[in-house]
Amino acid sequence: MSQFQIAVILMLGAVVAVLGFRKFKLIASKHRLTRMLSRVGLDPDLADQGDADAIIKEVRKRCSRCQTEDLCERWLADKAAGGNEFCPNAKVFEKLKQV
């Protein structure tokens, strides 16, 4: 096998690994969002309406790009005190509860 073939195989492996990791992150994000919706008193099925509802679509996007995943996981597991002010969607959730 030539060095070029090896490089191509390694590159393809890296691409597959990156795509797999991104898929894992999206699935984990959706799971957290579903749990968060339920925890704040909203219908967790809202997480599945992202394509139909612009607000939920934006909520899902924010959740998938969130930088506080660890705190979110701890809060959802009742291992962090306080409210969900850390959540970039907290204000949106409050507005949705008023609808």
The CB-side HSE value for 39 (13 A sphere, CA atoms) comes to 17
**Looking at residue 80, what DSSP letter applies?**
S
User: What local confidence, expressed as pLDDT, does residue 9 receive?
Assistant: 94
User: What local confidence, expressed as pLDDT, does residue 5 receive?
Assistant: 94
The band of 6, judged by pLDDT with boundaries at 50, 70 and 90, is: very high
Q: Three-state secondary structure along 8-54?
A: HHHHHHHHHHHHHHHHHHHHHHHHHHHHHHHHCCCCHHHHHHCCCCH
User: What local confidence, expressed as pLDDT, does residue 52 receive?
Assistant: 62
The region, left, alpha or beta by phi > 0 then psi within -120 to 50, assigned to residue 78 is left
Task: Read off the pLDDT of residues 44-69 as tens digits, 9 standing for 90 and up.
Answer: 988 887 566 788 889 999 999 999 99
User: What local confidence, expressed as pLDDT, does residue 2 receive?
Assistant: 93
Q: Is 27 exposed, middle or buried (0-12, 13-18, 19+ CB in 10 A)?
A: exposed
Q: Parse the chain into domains and list their residue ranges.
A: 24-98
Task: Read off the pLDDT of residues 84-98 as tens digits, 9 standing for 90 and up.
Answer: 999 999 999 999 998
Residues 29-50 have a mean pLDDT of 90
